[in-house]
């Protein structure tokens, strides 16, 4: 069974489209768009980090300011309402005495009452807890943070976020549990300066902690939303850009393909025009003497002695060959100087009737049967004589390919684009895949007596009617020639 092959027209189109795609000046735009995606993505990410970071900073600054005011007020109240009266009354401060502790606690509680403070401690110079809102911690050592020493030596207050969740993991561990993020401030607890030009003495270190988990979680959620939105918007932009480029590429490829086709047609037309001039002058020189040879042979055939069989055979051969030669000359002329088709409304069924009727005798002699399946009412705008010529060439090729008895199937209908579709399928060996790309080359033939102009003429006729021709091997064997022609507008009268 012959190997099925794709229609050669489509093969050429695909190859051209690929070529066109390769040469496209837009191909660099793809790289550019990928780069731009990377740039947009990075910029967006940087921007989103910047925005959310500044939101975090604002939150921390707000909390720090609040804590600063709180600890300064605490310091003032502790000194005025506890330290000074206690020293004046007892000579020294000893928080181990319950009465002193109670008094300090009252002062502290009155200041922090209703404020978001979790814990408050005061460390003495031995880093021991001298006061804590949690009475059980009183007198314990080892609870002071490492930088307490700096504060005890009078350094400025220190703010720190304390968490056991690493910063980089935090965005992925939302929601947090209470106390996951705590803001701690260490502040030197000061008294009044002993002399006006001396710095106020440090009495201990004040530590205040505040749970900022909720605020921190809000900032991180905000940061996540910004990052995701940026990513999504970049992706959408990129997809749109790609779609645009893809579309532009397709349009450009189609245009380039069209331009190439036009160039090729122009080139081939130029070649044909040159060839046509030469051939028509040669044909003119050949046709007249050929006509004389043919009519002379015919004349001699009539007048000669019927008993001389040898001479009759020679004259018959001269006559037949001169007829064949003048047909070949006419083919050359048809190919080299294609006629402009008339624009009549032609009935495809009628043309097929005439062609098949003409070939009936010859086909019958060879044992070829014709199976015809044609829909009624198929009209095209064109030249019925030229279309007759085209169908005739295709049918003769089919009959020759079968080389003896066989079946020729002819079908005609409308395709899904409303075009008139004719299919000629023979039961021969099918197209040799090796010669398939050359079928439309002028003078290409595999037959002894062929000119190789049959299919090029068919193609030129079909194309001049705005149609297309396709060649393929049918899956069930045999060569299939498909002709597609634009249907005639409704309402025109057939001739």
472 touches ligand ATP (CB under 6 A): no
The answer to whether 235 and 41 are in contact (CB under 8 A) is: no
CA distance 320 to 298: 10
Distance of CA 281 to CAs 275, 336, 376, 445, Å?
10, 12, 44, 24
461 touches ligand ATP (CB under 6 A): no
N-to-C CA span, the chain: 42
Q: Which of 188, 204, 382, 454 binds ligand ATP (CB under 6 A)?
A: 454
276 binds, among ligand ATP, Mg ion, none (CB under 5 to 8 A by kind): none
Pick 3 or 57: Cβ nearer ligand ATP: 3
439 binds, among ligand ATP, Mg ion, none (CB under 5 to 8 A by kind): ligand ATP
Which residue's C-beta sits nearest to Mg ion?
Answer: 454
Output DSSP code: residue 480: E
Pick 173 or 447: Cβ nearer ligand ATP: 447
Q: Which of 33, 63, 210, 451 binds ligand ATP (CB under 6 A)?
A: 451
- The site string for Mg ion over 406-445 (x = CB under 5 A, - otherwise) reads ----------------------------------------
454 touches Mg ion (CB under 5 A): yes
Q: Nearest distance from residue 269's CB to ligand ATP, in Å? A: 19
| Helix or strand run (H / E) with residue 326 | helix 309-336
Using CB under 6 A, which of the segments 68-76, 157-165, 175-183, 444-452 binds ligand ATP?
A: 444-452
CA distance 452 to 445: 4
Q: Which of 247, 372, 447, 492 binds ligand ATP (CB under 6 A)?
A: 447
397 touches ligand ATP (CB under 6 A): yes
Which residue's C-beta sits nearest to ligand ATP?
Answer: 454
CA distance 469 to 8: 9
Pick 345 or 464: Cβ nearer ligand ATP: 464
List the interface residues with ligand ATP, window 5-64 (CB under 6 A).
Answer: none
CA distance 378 to 352: 11
Gyration radius from the chain CA atoms: 51
Tokens of 218: 């809000």
The count of other CB atoms within 10 Å of the CB of residue 70 is 21
> In terms of DSSP H, where are the helices of 79-183?
84-90, 98-112, 148-152
The answer to whether 382 and 343 are in contact (CB under 8 A) is: yes
- The site string for Mg ion over 307-336 (x = CB under 5 A, - otherwise) reads ------------------------------
204 touches ligand ATP (CB under 6 A): no
Pick 77 or 445: Cβ nearer ligand ATP: 445
Output DSSP code: residue 80: I
Q: Nearest distance from residue 400's CB to Mg ion, in Å? A: 7
CA distance 181 to 59: 13
Please work out, in degrees rounded to the nearest 5, the angle formed at the alpha carbon of residue 61 by the alpha carbons of 55 and 62: 90
**Conformational region of residue 74, where left means phi above 0, alpha means psi within -120 to 50, and beta covers everything else:** alpha
CA distance 359 to 410: 13
Query: Among 327, 378, 338, which Cα is nearest to 485's?
Result: 378
445 touches ligand ATP (CB under 6 A): yes
453 touches ligand ATP (CB under 6 A): yes
- Applying CB under 5 A, the site for Mg ion has a residue count of 2
CA distance 327 to 399: 19
Q: Which of 397, 399, 459, 460 binds Mg ion (CB under 5 A)?
A: 397
C-alpha 128: how far from chain center = 70
Using CB under 5 A, which of the segments 30-38, 51-59, 318-326, 394-402 binds Mg ion?
A: 394-402
Pick 253 or 363: Cβ nearer ligand ATP: 363
Pick 259 or 446: Cβ nearer Mg ion: 446
Site residues (vs ligand ATP, CB under 6 A): 393, 397-398, 401, 426, 428, 431, 435, 439, 444-447, 450-455, 479
Site residues (vs Mg ion, CB under 5 A): 397, 454
């Amino acid at each position: 069974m012959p190997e099925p092959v794709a229609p050669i027209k489509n093969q050429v189109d695909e190859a051209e489209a690929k070529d066109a795609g390769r040469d496209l000046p837009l191909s660099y735009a793809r790289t550019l768009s990928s780069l731009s995606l990377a740039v947009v993505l990075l910029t967006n990410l940087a921007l989103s980090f910047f925005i959310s970071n500044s939101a975090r900073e604002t939150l921390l600054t707000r909390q720090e300011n609040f804590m600063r005011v709180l600890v300064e007020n605490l310091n003032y109240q502790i000194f005025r309402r506890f330290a000074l009266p206690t020293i004046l009354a007892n000579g020294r401060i000893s928080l181990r005495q319950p009465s002193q502790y109670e008094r300090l606690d009252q002062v502290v509680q009155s200041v922090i009452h209703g404020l978001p403070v979790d814990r408050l401690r005061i460390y003495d110079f031995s880093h021991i807890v001298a006061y804590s809102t949690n009475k059980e911690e009183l007198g314990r050592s080892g609870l002071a943070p490492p930088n307490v020493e700096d504060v005890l030596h009078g350094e400025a207050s220190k703010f720190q976020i304390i968490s056991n969740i690493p910063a980089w993991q935090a965005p992925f561990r939302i929601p947090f549990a209470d106390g996951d993020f705590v803001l701690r401030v260490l502040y030197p607890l000061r008294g009044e300066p002993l002399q006006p030009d001396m710095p106020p003495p440090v009495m201990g270190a004040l530590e205040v902690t505040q749970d900022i988990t909720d605020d921190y979680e809000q900032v991180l959620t905000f940061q996540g939303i910004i990052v995701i939105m940026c990513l999504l918007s970049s992706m959408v932009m990129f997809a749109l850009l790609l779609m645009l480029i893809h579309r532009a590429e397709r349009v450009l490829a189609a245009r380039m393909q069209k331009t190439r086709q036009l160039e090729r047609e122009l080139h081939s037309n130029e070649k044909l025009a040159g060839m046509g001039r030469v051939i028509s002058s040669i044909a003119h020189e050949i046709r007249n003497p050929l006509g004389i040879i043919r009519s002379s042979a015919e004349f001699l055939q009539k007048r000669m002695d019927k008993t001389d069989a040898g001479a009759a055979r020679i004259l018959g051969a001269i006559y037949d060959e001169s007829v064949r030669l003048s047909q070949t000359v006419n083919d050359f002329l048809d190919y080299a100087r294609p006629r402009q088709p008339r624009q009549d409304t032609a009935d495809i069924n009628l043309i097929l009737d005439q062609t098949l009727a003409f070939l009936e005798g010859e086909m019958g002699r060879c044992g070829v049967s014709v199976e015809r399946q044609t829909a009624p009412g198929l009209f095209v705008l064109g030249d019925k004589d030229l279309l007759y010529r085209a169908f005739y060439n295709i049918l003769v090729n089919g009959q020759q390919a079968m080389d003896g008895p066989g079946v020729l199937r002819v079908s005609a209908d409308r395709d899904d684009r409303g075009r008139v579709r004719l299919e000629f399928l023979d039961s021969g060996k099918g197209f040799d895949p090796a010669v398939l790309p050359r079928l439309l080359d002028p003078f290409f033939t595999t037959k002894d007596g062929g000119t190789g102009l049959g299919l090029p003429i068919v193609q030129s006729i079909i194309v001049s009617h705005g149609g297309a021709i396709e060649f393929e091997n049918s899956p069930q064997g045999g060569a299939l020639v498909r002709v597609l022609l634009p249907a005639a507008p409704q309402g025109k009268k057939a001739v």
